[in-house]
Structure 1
Amino acid sequence: MKHISLLIPEGESSLSNIEASYKIFTTVNQALAREGKPPLFKIQLVGLSKQTHVTNGLFTIQPGLTIREVKKTDLVIIPAVHGDAEKVVADNRPLAEWIARQYAQGAEIVSLCIGAFILASSGLLKGKNCTTHWLSAAEFSRMFPDVNVAPYKILTDEAGIYTSGGAYSSLNLLLYLVEKFAGRDMAILASKIFEIDIDRHSQSPFIMFRGQKEHEDEPVKKAQEYIEDNFRDKITVNQLAGMLALSRRSLERRFKRATSNTVIEYIQRVKIEAAKKGFETSRKNINEIMYEIGYSDNKAFRGVFKKLTGLSPVDYKNKYAQA
């Protein structure tokens, strides 16, 4: 039987993450029991203390065990914890150290959504790939520059460490784990019981590009503002560099460091975000939106749109356009 430590960190933990994790693995045990088979999972709530407030103090969860009482476990699940990320990490330092010790003893580790901040603070993600909520990706990269964050992914699996994207994409990671430990048939059954799309692989359709302006490089901010105000026009890197009295090489280097995008990528993202809004809020056809955002090549537009959203313009419009 696989022992699962479902953590209840200090702070405003996600009740939905905690309940979904408990329910899905418990449901697998119940399905096995109906088949006359023994349970696969023993799930216990584990915290720093025996009483933890979640969801801004609205609810209280009483973990059955503290980390001091769990000497060895097989699978550790870290739910999202909302609030100031620096404070969340500081408040849960003993939990992160315990997670690292469990991993050293052979446990596998799971983080759901922004639970990745606690996982990264353990040092276990250094040099590895992970995902988290796309809204928190920039702050995550700032706090943990030695981790390869991929905010477009629904989940990652590397060296016994699993991470999920934002919010309810955690359900896809839980199903992935059910499939790994209990088989495809059981994962499909769970997906049907909980009505979860089992084979969703990307957060890209949900990402809203807001630009990364939490930096102190004023020339780069001016370049970003110029791009956002003039994205319908043809903008070149040389044009921006001349406007800011910088060399092209210097602008590209500083822009990438400040925004995590090249200048060209930033221009593309601003254009595609405008296209997405056009599809969502108007009845204009694809060519009309394409021309409005400054594209004249249908093939190029479709290629960039699919790359950044994971959907073709037609599929995105069909999915999100006004009825």
Structure 2
Amino acid sequence: MTPFGIRVAIAAYEGTWASTLYTTAEIVQSVNLRYLTGVFSCGVVTPTEQAVVSYSGHRIAGDTTMADGVLYDWVVLPHFWGDLDRLIQLHPQISPWLQQQYAGGALIASVNSGAFWLAYAGLLKGRRATTYWRHIPELKARFPEVEWLVQQGLVEDSGLYTSNGQHAGMDLALHVVERVCGADMASSLTRDMTFDHRRYYDLTLFNMAGFRHHRDDSIHQVQNWLDRHYSGPVSFKDLADSAGMSKSTFLRRFERATGEKPARYLQRLRVEAAKHRLINSDDNIKAISINVGYQDISHFSKVFKSVAAHSPRSFRNRYRPRKKANRSNTQY
């Protein structure tokens, strides 16, 4: 995606929760107003020219339809409520449209049950995803080839983003804003919208999403292992052996796929985990350093600053909001 002129499509279908549809539109409009230019062009896309009826019973008219053949940079699939089999029959246009958008290079992001459309279109096959925990048993039964992650609030795999609730859906939109416009813009929007940016779920894996925009399955498997074991000792020779490669081949393929050398990737993964703890916990910096795999706090601070452009203390002071009393972790 380019820094300006990013085309955003927000899909609307029967049973759409309008609150999850318009959240993205309002966030990208906030970016446009801050830049005083059209960073994003955003429109509602419906399956046909006929308006759809939202969950609340209101009619939603599209700015364009899925038959118009427009390719987008970013597609959003809002949460919806309704019978899945009925919706498949009602909206046969959605699946081929999503396949077309993904093949054209679009990032596709779903809020809560919007992940159903990704799975039904076959785009999540062999990939990781999440949704609201109540939906996961049914989706596991329908789409067993998808690795459904129950405890993860946000998941990215190969340019496909899924989230487990309305708050996570807002984080999802802010993540794309951060990717396009930088962390300061995303942080500014967060403060101005006056919601608590701290989350009980860990954004570490989601913030590493950009390094998974490749199709090398062997390297994906190595990344999956590092996701689980980054805080412990890591032997790249052992990882190469487990992937059936020589160490030199492994190092070359990893960098070609991700754009980073394995050692630097591991540093980034640990720093993202540290960021989460700096913002969302009261742990001291030494404890966080040890928790993410660094026994030497001075080395941890040096690595952290090389990745995040701030010392751990400066990062906490800059990005951690004030605590709010009686904060609820409820997801909708």
CA contact (8 A) 1:14 1:79 kept: yes
Could you say what secondary structure the match of 2:48 adopts? coil
> What is the distance in 1 between the residues matched to 2:327 and 2:47?
47
* Residue 57 of structure 1: how far off its partner (Å): 6.0
CA contact (8 A) 1:88 1:118 kept: no
Instruction: Note the aligned Cα RMSD (angstroms).
Output: 2.1
* 2:47 partner letter: L
Matched residue, 2:265: none
Matched residue, 1:7: 11
Matched residue, 2:282: none
* Residue 25 of structure 1: how far off its partner (Å): 0.7
> What is the distance in 1 between the residues matched to 2:153 and 2:327?
22
* Residue 32 of structure 1: how far off its partner (Å): 1.1
Quick check: 24-33 or 56-65, which moved more? 56-65
Matched residue, 2:194: 195
* 1:27 partner letter: S
* 1:142 partner letter: A
Question: Any residues of structure 2 matched to 1:1-323 within 5 Å, and which?
Answer: 1-9=5-13, 11-33=14-36, 38-56=37-55, 58-200=57-199, 202=201
* Residue 169 of structure 1: how far off its partner (Å): 2.1
Could you say what secondary structure the match of 1:126 adopts? coil
Flag the 1:90–1:129 CA change in 2: closer, same or farther, 3 A. Answer: farther
> What is the distance in 1 between the residues matched to 2:109 and 2:41?
16
* Residue 199 of structure 1: how far off its partner (Å): 4.5
* Residue 31 of structure 1: how far off its partner (Å): 1.0
Flag the 1:160–1:199 CA change in 2: closer, same or farther, 3 A. Answer: farther
* 1:18 partner letter: L
Flag the 1:90–1:166 CA change in 2: closer, same or farther, 3 A. Answer: farther
Q: Which runs of 5+ in 2 are unaligned?
A: 203-325
TM-score, scaled to structure 1: 0.59
* 2:96 partner letter: E
CA contact (8 A) 1:155 1:201 kept: no
Matched residue, 2:285: none
> What is the distance in 1 between the residues matched to 2:57 and 2:132?
23
> What is the distance in 1 between the residues matched to 2:69 and 2:35?
26
> What is the distance in 2 between the residues matched to 1:318 and 1:87?
38
* Residue 318 of structure 1: how far off its partner (Å): 9.6
Task: State the aligned residue count.
Answer: 202
For residues 290-314 of structure 1, give each alpha carbon's deviation from its aligned partner in whole angstroms, at most 9, with x where no partner exists: xxxxxxxxxxxxxxxxxxxxxxxxx
> What is the distance in 2 between the residues matched to 1:168 and 1:58?
23
TM-score, scaled to structure 2: 0.57
> What is the distance in 2 between the residues matched to 1:90 and 1:127?
25
For residues 132-185 of structure 1, give each alpha carbon's deviation from its aligned partner in whole angstroms, at most 9, with x where no partner exists: 011111111111110011121111112111111123321111111111111101
> What is the distance in 1 between the residues matched to 2:184 and 2:58?
35
CA contact (8 A) 1:175 1:198 kept: no
> What is the distance in 1 between the residues matched to 2:198 and 2:16?
26
* 1:125 partner letter: L
For residues 1-60 of structure 1, give each alpha carbon's deviation from its aligned partner in whole angstroms, at most 9, with x where no partner exists: 110111112x11011011111101111111111xxxx32110011111234333346211
> What is the distance in 2 between the residues matched to 1:166 and 1:20?
13
Flag the 1:319–1:81 CA change in 2: closer, same or farther, 3 A. Answer: closer
> What is the distance in 2 between the residues matched to 1:93 and 1:196?
37
* 2:108 partner letter: I
Q: Which runs of 5+ in 1 are unaligned?
A: 204-316
CA contact (8 A) 1:5 1:76 kept: yes
* Residue 72 of structure 1: how far off its partner (Å): 1.3
* 2:176 partner letter: L
